Chain A
């Protein structure tokens, strides 16, 4: 019976990590439903971008208030997680503060964890106020109605509770050490320093040792179980960005933002048409398999980086707040483009799971069922959304692929655009002017 807590802890750990691995597998499977795209070039530049943008939060702080607040939570999250390592070892072996042997250095560590935990708690409260009380436009948007709003708040509640439990655990531990409780007290005096939780500790004065141990153990267990639950919550949440921001910035487009891809399948056809040596009477080659679809009508027509973008999006709405169409009341929202892509991808993933590993057509697609044509046609391709994203997500590339599908597969462009395109085709300009008149301006001078 003596080892019961250790065994229970091991089971919890294996379940938590095991379930997480299962989710990561599902995540990579879904991302790989996308078309291939080569992003293996220029590795040094990619590492630098990841270091600067994801690790260094370079683009986050372009909006100073939310940026600095985010850096506090981010740094807190990373540093406090060092403590989780100790918690896991203590949990597995029944030790008490195994890293305590580090003496003063340990005191500094625990002290900084506590200060960071407190700062994170305060920042998260500010984040909650920004989302729920301060009427900030990008958090009031209709994009977030329902689960996205709840998701955003749940993450904040999770973090408040975890930081709270961490501090309560330390406070009870500190009090137990002062009382000289066996297993807690050390011959070397107080292990750790408690600059924040020492203010909570007086609450426990007068409690019996047994009660305090219950409080300490309860906080300890809830804290680590909470972390394991939170780890597994990520897959279902916008909070996945804490992991995916890194590969997302690594694999981001390195070319000038104005350079749109030249579709290879189209190039093949165009070159064939322009080839003067081609035999006009030759029988067309037998098509191999299904002809390639131009553009994207569903998630599997997008490339894997675009699908990873969708899972990485934390729905902050900086893209939408910079979008000229959105600012002037059009229904286009680049954030919604990313959220819709993820929702549809999840739906496709569940379909595959339910049908033994193959997708069964469900009569739905990303275009029309999630993203409407009106949204897609409102885009000015100005790249403001791409520029605004703190982790280099590219909503514009998805909009463009879907426009290509609408125009090349469905011939569904607005009639004004069809006129302009007919003009380009017939007389080399989007307006109905004669190409032979192109140089008339010279004589008009």
Chain B
């Protein structure tokens, strides 16, 4: 929490006639949601620490259109997509990293046929590559031996087959990684996807996030690790519902790495 974050915008880079190594796509949750903003800041701190030459779009960023598309509003989605693509292509963006699996999936899979072709990585994949390239080192100290269970975000896991990057990062922290009975390809949704985050659930006997939290609690974790701001909210609410918030933390993988490094 020491020094000021260095987060330049694409416009600033352009003014200097430079290109950043990677664009950090913050996403709506990462920009506006108080809990998710902590993840954004933690990730930015790590990027600063590793001297990654990155930029954000700032006020030029807009919703990718994911919730509109999953809600069925293809029209609004494509309007958002085409507008964003114009901005991204204007800056000649080549590589994008994002801490939101929904933005990740949409930018990676649904933008190309509309004219937006970028290398898109999830922040856990990016952090893993920083470690592999020796640009970042982590010590497990703080989390050593803690029981951690990782909740697979649907749009990172099943949707795009990324299961190992977040787990590899957790292993680097020397944690005791415990899997829920439903994990990876069989992981249970947190209940937020498909625009459910923005509406009341249909009548049922339970909320999905409570069911998923119960599965997480079965593993008796110290921390529930997440890789998605929406999953984070849902699991945090679930833990509160079970009145376990004093014993169990819900943390993004990036927050854990930042915390391990005292960032």
Q: Which residues of A contact B (CB under 8 A)?
A: 255-260, 262-263, 266-267, 269-271, 273-274, 294-295, 322, 324-325, 327-332, 374, 377-384, 386-387, 400, 402-408, 413-414, 416-417, 419-421, 424-425, 428-431, 433, 435-442, 444-445
Smallest CB separation, B154 vs chain A (Å): 4
Known contacts A431-B28, A435-B59; A330 and B201 CB within 8 A of each other: yes
Pairs A-B, 7 closest by C-beta atoms: A258-B159, A403-B72, A381-B194, A428-B62, A329-B204, A329-B205, A259-B109
Which B residues touch A420, using CB under 8 A?
Answer: 67, 71, 195, 198-199
Closest to B8 in A: A442
* Count of chain B residues near A, Cβ 8 A: 76
Task: Pick from B70, B185, B200: contact of A381, CB below 8 A.
Answer: B70
Tell me if B61 is interfacial: C-beta within 8 Å of chain A: yes
What is the predominant secondary structure among interface residues of chain A facing chain B? helix
CA distance A269 to B74 in the complex (A): 11
Known contacts A387-B185, A416-B199; A403 and B32 CB within 8 A of each other: no
Tell me if B91 is interfacial: C-beta within 8 Å of chain A: no
Smallest CB separation, A179 vs chain B (Å): 58
Tell me if B44 is interfacial: C-beta within 8 Å of chain A: yes
Known contacts A330-B203, A378-B202, A424-B63; A408 and B72 CB within 8 A of each other: yes
Given A270-B79, A429-B31, A442-B44; 12 other pairs, CB 8 A cutoff: A259-B159, A327-B211, A329-B206, A330-B202, A330-B204, A378-B201, A414-B200, A421-B76, A429-B28, A431-B32, A442-B5, A445-B41
**Could you mark each residue 205-249 of chain B with 1 if its beta carbon is under 8 Å from any beta carbon of chain A, else 0?**
111101110000000000000000000000000000000000000
Q: 7 pairs across A/B with beta carbons < 8 Å? A: A274-B83, A274-B86, A324-B188, A328-B204, A374-B203, A424-B65, A428-B28
Tell me if B16 is interfacial: C-beta within 8 Å of chain A: no
Which A residues touch B110, using CB under 8 A?
Answer: 259-260, 262
Known contacts A262-B78, A380-B193, A425-B76; A417 and B198 CB within 8 A of each other: yes
Which A residues touch B203, using CB under 8 A?
Answer: 329-330, 374
Known contacts A403-B72, A408-B74; A324 and B206 CB within 8 A of each other: no
Task: Pick from B37, B59, B194: contact of A436, CB below 8 A.
Answer: B59
Smallest CB separation, A266 vs chain B (Å): 5
Say yes or no: B40 contacts A259, CB within 8 Å: no
Tell me if B68 is interfacial: C-beta within 8 Å of chain A: yes
Task: Pick from B9, B82, B108, B160: contact of A439, CB below 8 A.
Answer: B9
Which A residues touch B9, using CB under 8 A?
Answer: 439
Say yes or no: A430 contacts B72, CB within 8 Å: no
CA distance A379 to B203 in the complex (A): 12
Q: Which of B154-212 contact A (CB under 8 A)?
A: 154-155, 158-161, 185-186, 188-189, 191-208, 210-212
Which A residues touch B57, using CB under 8 A?
Answer: 438
Tell me if B131 is interfacial: C-beta within 8 Å of chain A: no
Smallest CB separation, B44 vs chain A (Å): 7
Smallest CB separation, A274 vs chain B (Å): 5
Which A residues touch B212, using CB under 8 A?
Answer: 324
Task: Pick from A262, A381, A424: contact of B76, CB below 8 A.
Answer: A424
Say yes or no: A421 contacts B160, CB within 8 Å: no
Most buried by A among B155, B194, B205: B194
Smallest CB separation, A302 vs chain B (Å): 15
Say yes or no: A435 contacts B62, CB within 8 Å: yes
Tell me if B58 is interfacial: C-beta within 8 Å of chain A: yes
Tell me if B113 is interfacial: C-beta within 8 Å of chain A: yes
Smallest CB separation, B45 vs chain A (Å): 8
CA distance A433 to B34 in the complex (A): 12
Which B residues touch A387, using CB under 8 A?
Answer: 158, 185-186
Tell me if B22 is interfacial: C-beta within 8 Å of chain A: no
**Could you mark each residue 113-152 of chain B with 1 if its beta carbon is under 8 Å from any beta carbon of chain A, else 0?**
1100000000000000000000000000000000000000
Known contacts A380-B196, A380-B208, A439-B31; A403 and B71 CB within 8 A of each other: yes
Tell me if B56 is interfacial: C-beta within 8 Å of chain A: yes
Smallest CB separation, A429 vs chain B (Å): 4
Say yes or no: A441 contacts B41, CB within 8 Å: yes
Say yes or no: A438 contacts B202, CB within 8 Å: no
Closest to B194 in A: A381
Smallest CB separation, A16 vs chain B (Å): 42
Say yes or no: A266 contacts B74, CB within 8 Å: yes
Which A residues touch B109, using CB under 8 A?
Answer: 255-256, 258-259
Which A residues touch B204, using CB under 8 A?
Answer: 325, 328-330, 378
Closest to A436 in B: B59
Smallest CB separation, A264 vs chain B (Å): 9
Closest to A323 in B: B189
Smallest CB separation, B62 vs chain A (Å): 3
Known contacts A271-B82, A439-B56; A383 and B72 CB within 8 A of each other: no
Smallest CB separation, A178 vs chain B (Å): 55
Which A residues touch B208, using CB under 8 A?
Answer: 324-325, 327-328, 380
Task: Pick from A266, A383, A403, A428: contact of B63, CB below 8 A.
Answer: A428
Which B residues touch A377, using CB under 8 A?
Answer: 199, 202
